[in-house]
Amino acid sequence: MKQRILLLIVMTAVITTIQAQKKNKAAPGSTGYAITAVEKGGRSWKEVRQIDAASGAILKTIYDSKQETEALNARTGKPVLKKDNPVEKIYTRTLKTPPVEKKVVNSIMN
């Protein structure tokens, strides 16, 4: 009885693994996203690219750090308009420290 249950569990695991491998091979290509440098071996990782996981080839550049990006409103998706704020008048006041008075201590010498 124990052998039949063990055989059933092992066969279920093997069949499940085989089916999973077939589904992965039938996929039209696994892609992923990578944060990379502008050139290979660079230290400044600012680029976001879509890559093919099987070959490592770059499919598309999602974000290019050299391009000028436009700020968008997160709720509406519309561009954010920059408003010119009038320069606020800043009043400064110079504080003068009071002059230090010398204290004379009378001491009695014996």
Q: What phi and psi, each to the nearest 5 degrees, are found at residue 34?
A: -135, 140
- Integer distance in angstroms from the first to the last C-alpha of the chain? 113
pLDDT digits (tens, 9 = 90+) for 14-65: 999 888 876 655 456 688 999 988 888 888 888 999 998 888 888 999 888 8
pTM here is 0.41
Query: How would you label 32-41 residue by residue, b for 16+ Cβ within 10 Å and e otherwise?
Result: eeeebeeeee
| Percentage of the chain modeled with pLDDT above 70 | 79
